Amino acid sequence: MAKKIKKIVNIRLRPDQEERINAIVERSAILDTSKFVRIAVDWLLMSDLGEVIGKIVHDEEHFPDYRIRKKPRGRTKGRQKRGTGSAK
């Protein structure tokens, strides 16, 4: 069965991202928000995605919401210890 292709219509931005985009669009005579986002996506797709993602994920100071969470270390099922003391 073919996988259903999902149309991208809504992008959730952080408030600081939205502010920066709006500031750039306000200063531009030819850009609107939609065109800016399309250009940014085209630029990202032309780039080395591995390098871009690596820089963003590993720069936790500037991009804390992309931090890779560490898996919680739960108790592992190991061999149960048997008592070695004297039996009563």
Q: Is residue 26 part of a domain?
A: yes
How many structural domains compose the chain? 1
38-67 pLDDT, tens digit each: 999 899 889 988 888 888 888 777 777 777
Indicate the pLDDT class of residue 86, thresholds 50, 70 and 90: low
4-19 pLDDT, tens digit each: 777 777 888 888 889 9
Domain that holds residue 42: 15-66
- Taking the chain, what is the end-to-end CA distance rounded to the nearest angstrom? 65
Which has more confidence, 56 or 27? 27
Phi, psi of 79 (to 5 degrees): -70, 130
The CB-side HSE value for 31 (13 A sphere, CA atoms) comes to 16
Q: Is residue 9 part of a domain?
A: no
Note the pTM of the prediction, 2 decimals.
0.56
pLDDT value of position 84: 62
| Farthest-apart Cα atoms in the chain, separation | 89
Q: Is residue 2 part of a domain?
A: no
Q: Is residue 59 part of a domain?
A: yes
